[in-house]
Amino acid sequence: MMTEGTSKIVVGLGPVPLEQVQPYLDSDTQFIVSPTPVELAQAQGAIVRAAYKIGPEELDQMPRLKVLARTGVGVDQLDVEKIKERRIAIAITPGSNTKAVAEGALAHLLLLVKSLPQLHTLVQQGKWEHRSQVSVRDLDGSCLGIVGFGRIGRELASMASALGVQVLAYDPYSPVDEEYSVSSLEELLSLSDYLSLHLPLTAETENLIDENSLNLMKDGAIIINVSRGALMDHDAVLAALNQGKVAGVALDSFIQEPPVYHPLFDHPRVSLSPHMMGLSRAASEATYRMAAQAVAAVLRGEKAPYTI
């Protein structure tokens, strides 16, 4: 409940840590980590994590809401039309986790390229004599295809180029620098040894990586998805792994979070992380700070940056 001296309630939906948010809210604002129905009804602002869904039912629980700040940039879990109908501002936090997610994509790629899980198991199980049976590949001289060339895609391109990787990129929504550009997604798929996905989830991008697109890729390709789980048809990807068409897959994002079990998760050439690549220490601090500052600005009657 609201404490003495406060006049505004902001709630966390997701969860959101108090210590990383409260310092950036105004002194007349109380932040509630685990709001009750009564506190939701009083809330004028909300800071919302990526996996938290906001639709008409959730909006009805927060009739006083003026601003909703989403940690990150994806809004696929938000009913944007209904939120705007109620004249609620939507703030996002672009750039806060750019380097962290790009590093995460590169880390997953290196793990699979160098076959680290398999090599770890050999040593652990005393099977040193079998090490020559594990393929260890290279980044240097390879081709990395990046699908989606926003902040994260560009950062990954810079990191990979520094390691001797040829980078190509395709973005259905935004222009790509000439040095990386290809004419189509099909061309990118056919040229890439490794593929990294950095697109929002839309009706056009859902199941972008399906049986047809997988058939266009080089044999032994590795696919990294640190963006949105539904960009990939998991059944088709598993089939391609089992057939040897694909040599490795990394997932940091899932169709549903927490994910429903899929046999893809058990494949030895799959690397999994629980949507954490954008939640490094520095990235978390930045995204929570930006979200809290946006909420505070709107509740003061100001226009927050990065509202949609």
pLDDT in tens, 17-67: 999 999 999 999 999 999 999 999 999 999 999 889 999 999 999 999 999
Spatial distance between the Cα atoms of 72 and 86, rounded to a whole number of angstroms: 22
- Cα distances from 152 to residues 39, 144, 156, 267, in angstroms, run 36, 14, 6, 27
Cα 158-290-3 angle, rounded to 5 deg = 160
Spatial distance between the Cα atoms of 219 and 240, rounded to a whole number of angstroms: 10
Q: Is 6 exposed, middle or buried (0-12, 13-18, 19+ CB in 10 A)?
A: middle
257 a catalytic residue: yes
Q: Stretch 238-245: mean pLDDT, rounded?
A: 97
Q: Is the pLDDT of residue 232 over 60?
A: yes
Spatial distance between the Cα atoms of 281 and 164, rounded to a whole number of angstroms: 28
φ/ψ region of 76 (left if φ > 0, alpha if ψ in -120 to 50, else beta) reads alpha
Residue 22, φ and ψ in degrees, nearest 5: -55, -40
Q: Stretch 207-215: mean pLDDT, rounded?
A: 97
275 a catalytic residue: yes
Q: Does residue 293 contact residue 304 with C-beta atoms inside 8 Å?
A: yes
Structure confidence at residue 300 as a pLDDT band (50, 70, 90): very high
Q: Is the pLDDT of residue 179 over 70?
A: yes
Q: Which of 211, 209, 252 is nearest to 74 (CA)?
A: 252
pLDDT tens, residue by residue, 155-174: 999 999 999 999 999 999 98
Active-site position among 108, 151, 154, 228: 228
Q: Stretch 178-182: mean pLDDT, rounded?
A: 95
Q: Does residue 104 contact residue 248 with C-beta atoms inside 8 Å?
A: no
Alpha-carbon Rg for the chain, nearest whole angstrom, is: 22
Q: Is the pLDDT of residue 119 over 70?
A: yes
Spatial distance between the Cα atoms of 4 and 49, rounded to a whole number of angstroms: 28
Active-site position among 39, 187, 206, 257: 257
pLDDT tens, residue by residue, 250-278: 999 999 989 999 999 999 999 999 999 99
pLDDT tens, residue by residue, 88-115: 999 999 999 999 999 999 999 999 999 9
Q: What is the largest CA-CA distance in the chain?
A: 70
Q: What is the pTM of this model?
A: 0.87
Q: Which residues pair with 68 in a beta bridge?
A: 46, 90
Contacts for 37 with CB less than 8 Å, ≥ 6 apart:
61
Please report the pLDDT score of residue 5 as a whole number: 53
Please report the pLDDT score of residue 251 as a whole number: 98
